[in-house]
Structure 1
């Protein structure tokens, strides 16, 4: 999916929140800069030279995108910090601001931010293109080439998958015992729950993620999505059982449909459903390059914590987790509860 970084604040922030891509970018782009207080920074004069733009252009972008650039490391040095910085660099790098009581400098991250905003600079365009390549390389490398199953690298995935499997069994048993309908009911009401949680049927979900017919969609779902599904499955199973006990007969499909409609309107579930939709829409767009059009309004930038969660040191492949004796002990305890 093509990304226009100049027009999308979400896509820009996704790149800038990925510290693994930033480390590789700083190494490979070799943009220069000055080491100050433990990081690489750039003066406005260096930015002008780097991007071959005017001083006025830099000021214009600072004014138009002040909040975003400050979020990503643009700072104004004053007092002792400014004095220390001036002692490190040549006066020519400060320019006309040498006598000024304050000086704005860009961190490496803020320089990349500016490169993703600038439309007047060929160098900025080249950096944007290279950054997208670096992001893809880092993602493939750290996810082991399996972005389809990047959800499974989350340490919360296995407990959530086990929990959902348990409640799925309770729900299918309730469908078997409480609903007056043929075996087609299992597929129909699985889809209905999916539609409540993330507005798509199983076939729609598989198409968006380019899954094979034999692939189990739940093996690609994030922990928050599985937890939302499990909550609905368990609640519906309990409600169906109680209703059948009261009526002394099985339920008609329309009665279960009414229960599902109540679930969709349930204010207690709204925060959990919103969270599941936001996680799915945002992560899939960035990590899997997959757009859930029915969830497009839920797309946000992927937070820094999620890059640690799926690409960081605590993330592992499912095979690695299942080979861990401590993980197996946890599942034994869950099984015996």
Structure 2
């Protein structure tokens, strides 16, 4: 999937929230700037020179994308802060600012931001291309080259997967005990739960993530998605039992369908379902370059905490998790509950 950084706020923010990529970008792009308070800062004049555009073009982008640029590090120095800055730099660095009441400066992050916005500059286009190349390299390196299972690098994945496995057994037992239906009921009602939680059936999900026929799709799901599925399976199993005992017979498929519709509107479950949709859609677009079209309205930029979760020091492969005594102790407690 080609990312047009000039038109996609989410794609830009996903890069700017990735501190691991920013670190590599700063050392590889060598954009210069003035080091002040232990970070590079750039004036509007610096940006105009760097991107080979008129300073009025810089000001126009500042006006049109003010909130975004401020969020990513642009600020106006005033008062004591500006006085300290003037004392730190020379006129050679930033021009004559002796009579200027304030000065706008960009951090390195904000420079990348405006370079991803400017369409009039060939230099900005070149920087965008380098940004994408470096981000791809960082993602591959940090994830071990296996973004298909990047979900498993989250320390919450294994406990969530284990709990979901337990609740799925509870749900499939309920289908056996309380539903009058043929042998296809397991796949049929698994798909119905998927469609409630993330609006796709198993075949659609596999196609979007380009999974192979033998790939187990729950092994690719984020912990929050597994938790939402487990909550739905558990609640549905309990309601099936209660309804069957009340009627003194097994449920029909129509009656179970009605229970599923009712459960999908449960005010206790709706926030968890919406959260699962947002995390699946946003993370898959960012980490796997997979677009869930039915979840497009839920796509958000991925926060810095998610990059730490899947790429940082606390992230580990599944093999590493299974050899960790603390993780095994958690799984044992879940088994014994």
TM-score, structure 2 length as denominator? 0.98
1:295-317: CA deviation from partner (whole Å, max 9, x where unpaired): 01100100111111111111111
SS of 1:99's partner is coil
Find the counterpart in structure 1 of residue 251 from structure 2: 251
Find the counterpart in structure 2 of residue 309 from structure 1: 309
Q: Retained in 2: the 8 A contact 1:44–1:94?
A: no
Find the counterpart in structure 2 of residue 49 from structure 1: 49
Find the counterpart in structure 2 of residue 6 from structure 1: 6
Q: Retained in 2: the 8 A contact 1:45–1:93?
A: no
Alignment of 1:144-159 (within 5 A): 144-159=144-159
Find the counterpart in structure 1 of residue 279 from structure 2: 279
SS of 1:125's partner is helix
Find the counterpart in structure 1 of residue 95 from structure 2: 95
Find the counterpart in structure 2 of residue 76 from structure 1: 76
Q: Distance in 1 between matches of 2:55 and 2:92?
A: 14
Q: Retained in 2: the 8 A contact 1:43–1:93?
A: no
Q: Retained in 2: the 8 A contact 1:18–1:307?
A: yes
SS of 2:88's partner is coil
In the alignment, structure 2 segments of 5+ residues that lack a partner are none
Residue 182 of structure 1 pairs with residue 175 of structure 2: no
1:63-111: CA deviation from partner (whole Å, max 9, x where unpaired): 1111111100011112332223223333143235442121111000000
Q: Retained in 2: the 8 A contact 1:309–1:315?
A: yes
SS of 1:183's partner is coil
Residue 136 of structure 1 pairs with residue 136 of structure 2: yes
Find the counterpart in structure 2 of residue 201 from structure 1: 201
SS of 1:87's partner is helix
Q: Retained in 1: the 8 A contact 2:78–2:103?
A: yes
- Paired residues, what number? 337
Alignment RMSD, CA only?
1.0
**Greater Cα offset, 258-267 or 59-68:** 258-267
Shift of 1:266: 2.0
Shift of 1:333: 1.4
Q: Distance in 1 between matches of 2:48 and 2:107?
A: 15
Q: Distance in 1 between matches of 2:288 and 2:246?
A: 47
Q: Distance in 1 between matches of 2:314 and 2:252?
A: 47
Shift of 1:112: 0.2
Q: Distance in 2 between matches of 1:182 and 1:119?
A: 59
Q: Retained in 2: the 8 A contact 1:152–1:318?
A: yes
**Greater Cα offset, 265-274 or 118-127:** 265-274
Find the counterpart in structure 2 of residue 127 from structure 1: 127
Q: Distance in 1 between matches of 2:256 and 2:98?
A: 74
Q: Retained in 2: the 8 A contact 1:151–1:222?
A: yes
Find the counterpart in structure 1 of residue 217 from structure 2: 217
In the alignment, structure 1 segments of 5+ residues that lack a partner are none
